[in-house]
Structure 1
Amino acid sequence: MLKFLYFLIFLTPLCYFSGFWWLICSLLFFVSFVYFFFFPYFFCWGGLGYIFGCDLISYGLVLLSLWICVLMILASESVFRHGYFSGFFAFVVIALTIMLYCTFSSISLLSFYIFFESSLIPTLFLILGWGYQPERVQAGIYLLFYTLLASLPLLVGILFIYNSLGSLCLFLLCGGNSLVGGLFYVCMVFAFLVSMPMFMVHLWLPSAHVEAPVAGSMILAGVLLKLGGYGLLRVFPVLFSFGFGFGVVWVALSLVGGLFVSLFCMRQTDLKSLIAYSSVAHMSMVIGGIMTLNYWGVCSSFALMVAHGLCSSGLFCLSNISYERFGSRSLLVNSGLINLMPSMAMWWFLLSACNMAAPPSLNLLGEIGLLSSLVSWSWCLMFVLVFLSFFSAAYTLYMYSYSQHGSTYSGVYSCSLGYVREFLLLFLHWFPLNLIILSVDVTVFWV
């Protein structure tokens, strides 16, 4: 694992030379391609070096992080074209890639916590430095306030685990059930629920998305929301016996909250806000699946996290492509796009279909597994899940039909086609999303 880390660290000097933007992008593509061949076939920890290692959960999320960070540079070509501090932007993206790589490949809970918190700093720089509106300062404060405040009890819980078990190594954490109490359980779980985010502590996410540049939205939706799910999967070996009693609270709260958020989506007129709220609705199912603590729930939640990372990031790229043409994210302005950008309408359709879990996308696999796990856990959840799935399709259709059809905005007089770079960017989101389902054993049946 260290060889990839050193490769990323030695990329940082290239940021200080002008004209190296596409070389950095190409080298990140290269490291993603090489990492693809380091698949852990034995379904256990491998690649151990210093405090880093990799099992199948880590591998999938590290590969997702590398992939999304490459596409962030590809999507932010306007920063390079206008000379808007492009060198510092590339440095922030590489720093964020390093933090996420270290977070997902840490084998110690303490180093995981340190890198988990450190990944917020480059994200804050992205929002404050390259955001669009003056409200980006408030959005950045929201982001830090929610996540840091919830993470302080987690640090206390990690130190308590070390004091009780004498180790923080992730694969030695079994057998800590004797030290579990109600307060300890909430301390360990709450930080990850805020990071995902769960309903009622989700307000930081829409504001951060709306104010962030396209790269900030891509990394927020694509990877940073997955830190919460990854953390829950890592700490539940300690909390396993106590998790059954408290699970019903989180499952009920997240699923009912997901239903409410789906209704919020039907009222949104801002494209980015709509996609951000849909992320909260999808993550509510992931929380429910993890909290059931059964085989199908845990495996399918991992599949849906990977699928949502690619799909949601692609939708944010599409909204940014429209924003660069029209200067607005409002659905009132971005209507009738099929007349102005007919070649983009196909990508709107394909990614919207993936967002509503249409076959053959990986979203379908994740959602079917989560539905079966939640209904087997309690048949009463069937009533909530029916409406959750229905409204998920409803707000996606609302977004697609309102943006593509109807009369065009009267202030727009020209037809604009997409660049090859933009088509490549969207293809690199959509193609892996529909390709991974061919290897179901890797994404789901890995326990």
Structure 2
Amino acid sequence: MLSFLCFLLFLIPLCMSCSWWLVCSLLFLISFVYLFSFPYFFCWSGLSYFFGCDVISYGLVLLSLWICVLMVLASESILRSNYFPGFFLFVVVFLVTMLYCTFSSASLLSFYIFFESSLIPTLFLILGWGYQPERVQAGIYLLFYTLLASLPLLVGILFIYSSLGSLCLFLLSGGVAGGLFYVCMVLAFLVSMPMFLVHLWLPSAHVEAPVSGSMILAGVLLKLGGYGLLRVFPILSKFGFGFGIVWVVLSLVGGLLVSLFCMRQTDLKSLIAYSSVAHMGMVIGGVMTMSYWGVCSSFALMIAHGLCSSGLFCLSNISYERFGSRSLLVNSGLMNLMPSMTMWWFMLSACNMAAPPSLNLLGEIGLLSSLVSWSWCLMLVLIFLSFFSAAYTLYMYSYSQHGSVFSGLYSCSLGYVREFLLLFLHWFPLNLIILSVDFAVFWV
């Protein structure tokens, strides 16, 4: 545990010397080293007073390392324009260090501290390298939604310590009950995911963030909420079953409404951001059933969504860098201008609507079965949710790739090798992990 943490900290001097490709290569190296340190025994390992790792921590730390490598690879325009590349690398390395500590925390209090600390570099990314002046408002939305919802969580953690005398995650079990305590513990994670009705900060943050900010927001930071729910539910098991129906109905009906809202979006990044809300609604529903299949499938869909939505944000940025607009009205007929990119648009769009052999398919099938077995009344909502999920993805793909080319556009750049590598590194693990799905179903 400490060796990986020291490796990340020792990258900071290289960041300050602006060794862009060296930092990128070393982050690739630590990702592969961490990949082969998989804990084959499904319990806590590497334990110390503050840190420990089990299979769910391992999967999300690996996702964080991988997405941060791809962030650096996608943000080459910052190096090319010499827009504070050294400070950008420092922010990315600091962010991945905070995420590593968050997912590896063995104590609820240290988890809370690192959970909040990961917002600071994300805010720097949005404010420092965002596009429009409205990024200040988006940053304030992000900060206040998450911080205000996190204050009750801190109170709940202190109440747990006074009641049980311990904050170690692997020692906590059901022993604290109460409606107000339950809401305090769950609210911060529902805002972070985000759940419908508290999701307004996410589209504005995505639209104003640079591609790196959108990738880390969709890829990892939304998963902090799901990870937190999975960690605190052993404490809330006595009270969780009664409240579960509220969150399941709210998240699934909200996901359906957001899917309908996606059908009338004209901004590419806004459409992908709202689709994230719809997908995370299914994840919330699966976790709140508190069933074996629901929890395992939620974990699988979190990993899959992190890779898929990050890849879609990369594709929208590739178009934005050439045409200077994210509007679907301007980015139409891209098949005529960038035919080789159309294949990647199709492959990642297919993954987004859970086509085989992507990991999204495994996650959504498991979630559908767990939710229907929990209550067959949800079947109607799930039918429309799955249908509109495919509908808005096909709308995005067909409108951007087909049709007539906008008359004001001309691009002679079909795509760089760096961009094809970037998209391949999103798509390949997303479709390869389905060959080894035991990580998703044997850890509970």
Q: Which bracket does the TM-score occupy, shorter chain normalised?
A: over 0.9
Task: Report the alpha carbon displacement of residue 50 of structure 1 after superposing the two structures with TM.
Answer: 4.0
2:387 partner letter: F
1:233 corresponds in structure 2 to: 230
Task: Report the alpha carbon displacement of residue 440 of structure 1 after superposing the two structures with TM.
Answer: 1.3
2:15–2:87 contact (8 Å) kept in structure 1: yes
2:278 corresponds in structure 1 to: 281
The reply to whether residue 347 of structure 1 matches residue 344 of structure 2 is yes
The reply to whether residue 261 of structure 1 matches residue 284 of structure 2 is no
What is the rounded CA distance, in whole Å, between the counterparts of 1:443 and 1:293 in structure 2? 15
The reply to whether residue 250 of structure 1 matches residue 236 of structure 2 is no
1:367 corresponds in structure 2 to: 364
1:336–1:407 contact (8 Å) kept in structure 2: yes
1:2 partner letter: L
SS class of match (2:376): coil
CA RMSD of aligned residues (A): 0.6
2:267 corresponds in structure 1 to: 270
What is the rounded CA distance, in whole Å, between the counterparts of 1:163 and 1:442 in structure 2? 35
1:14 corresponds in structure 2 to: 14
1:6 partner letter: C
1:415 corresponds in structure 2 to: 412
What is the rounded CA distance, in whole Å, between the counterparts of 2:122 and 2:169 in structure 1? 26
SS class of match (2:47): strand
2:190 corresponds in structure 1 to: 193
1:3 corresponds in structure 2 to: 3
What is the rounded CA distance, in whole Å, between the counterparts of 1:50 and 1:9 in structure 2? 20
Task: Report the alpha carbon displacement of residue 55 of structure 1 after superposing the two structures with TM.
Answer: 0.1
What is the rounded CA distance, in whole Å, between the counterparts of 2:20 and 2:411 in structure 1? 30
Where does structure 1 lack aligned partners over 5 or more consecutive residues? Answer: none
SS class of match (1:273): helix
1:390 corresponds in structure 2 to: 387
Moved over 3 A (4+): none
1:51–1:107 contact (8 Å) kept in structure 2: yes
2:174–2:238 contact (8 Å) kept in structure 1: no
Task: Report the alpha carbon displacement of residue 17 of structure 1 after superposing the two structures with TM.
Answer: 1.1
Question: What whole-Å deviation, never above 9, does each CA across 1:24-71 have from its counterpart, x for those lacking one?
Answer: 000000000000111111100002234111000000000000000000
What is the rounded CA distance, in whole Å, between the counterparts of 1:56 and 1:414 in structure 2? 45
What is the rounded CA distance, in whole Å, between the counterparts of 1:227 and 1:414 in structure 2? 39
What is the rounded CA distance, in whole Å, between the counterparts of 1:15 and 1:154 in structure 2? 34
SS class of match (2:195): coil
1:197–1:280 contact (8 Å) kept in structure 2: yes
What is the rounded CA distance, in whole Å, between the counterparts of 1:414 and 1:136 in structure 2? 28
2:139 partner letter: G
2:174–2:236 contact (8 Å) kept in structure 1: no
What is the rounded CA distance, in whole Å, between the counterparts of 2:350 and 2:137 in structure 1? 34
1:395 partner letter: Y
SS class of match (2:235): helix
Task: Report the alpha carbon displacement of residue 444 of structure 1 after superposing the two structures with TM.
Answer: 2.3
2:203 corresponds in structure 1 to: 206
1:193 partner letter: L
2:65 partner letter: L
1:2–1:49 contact (8 Å) kept in structure 2: no
What TM-score, normalized to structure 2? 0.99
The reply to whether residue 429 of structure 1 matches residue 435 of structure 2 is no
Question: What whole-Å deviation, never above 9, does each CA across 1:84-142 have from its counterpart, x for those lacking one?
Answer: 00000000000000000000000000000000000000000000000000000000000
What does 1:34-113 align with in structure 2 at a 5 Å threshold? 34-113=33-112
Question: What whole-Å deviation, never above 9, does each CA across 1:403-422 have from its counterpart, x for those lacking one?
Answer: 00000010013332100000
Task: Report the alpha carbon displacement of residue 175 of structure 1 after superposing the two structures with TM.
Answer: 3.6
Match of 1:399 among 375, 396, 400: 396
2:258–2:274 contact (8 Å) kept in structure 1: yes
What is the rounded CA distance, in whole Å, between the counterparts of 1:150 and 1:63 in structure 2? 27
What is the rounded CA distance, in whole Å, between the counterparts of 2:186 and 2:17 in structure 1? 43
What is the rounded CA distance, in whole Å, between the counterparts of 1:187 and 1:2 in structure 2? 32
1:71–1:425 contact (8 Å) kept in structure 2: yes
Question: What whole-Å deviation, never above 9, does each CA across 1:162-200 have from its counterpart, x for those lacking one?
Answer: 000000000010142xx3100000000000000000000
What is the rounded CA distance, in whole Å, between the counterparts of 2:218 and 2:405 in structure 1? 29
Task: Report the alpha carbon displacement of residue 221 of structure 1 after superposing the two structures with TM.
Answer: 0.0
2:369 partner letter: S
2:303 corresponds in structure 1 to: 306
What is the rounded CA distance, in whole Å, between the counterparts of 2:357 and 2:15 in structure 1? 39
What is the rounded CA distance, in whole Å, between the counterparts of 1:58 and 1:33 in structure 2? 16
What is the rounded CA distance, in whole Å, between the counterparts of 1:375 and 1:415 in structure 2? 50
1:132 corresponds in structure 2 to: 131
The reply to whether residue 333 of structure 1 matches residue 351 of structure 2 is no
Question: What whole-Å deviation, never above 9, does each CA across 1:242-288 have from its counterpart, x for those lacking one?
Answer: 00000000000000000000000000000000000000000000000
Task: Report the alpha carbon displacement of residue 319 of structure 1 after superposing the two structures with TM.
Answer: 0.1
What is the rounded CA distance, in whole Å, between the counterparts of 1:431 and 1:261 in structure 2? 28
SS class of match (1:320): helix
What is the rounded CA distance, in whole Å, between the counterparts of 1:159 and 1:150 in structure 2? 16
What is the rounded CA distance, in whole Å, between the counterparts of 2:11 and 2:49 in structure 1? 21
2:337–2:410 contact (8 Å) kept in structure 1: no
SS class of match (2:191): helix
2:354 partner letter: A
What is the rounded CA distance, in whole Å, between the counterparts of 2:46 and 2:33 in structure 1? 14
Q: Percent identity?
A: 87
What is the rounded CA distance, in whole Å, between the counterparts of 1:21 and 1:414 in structure 2? 27
Where does structure 2 lack aligned partners over 5 or more consecutive residues? Answer: none
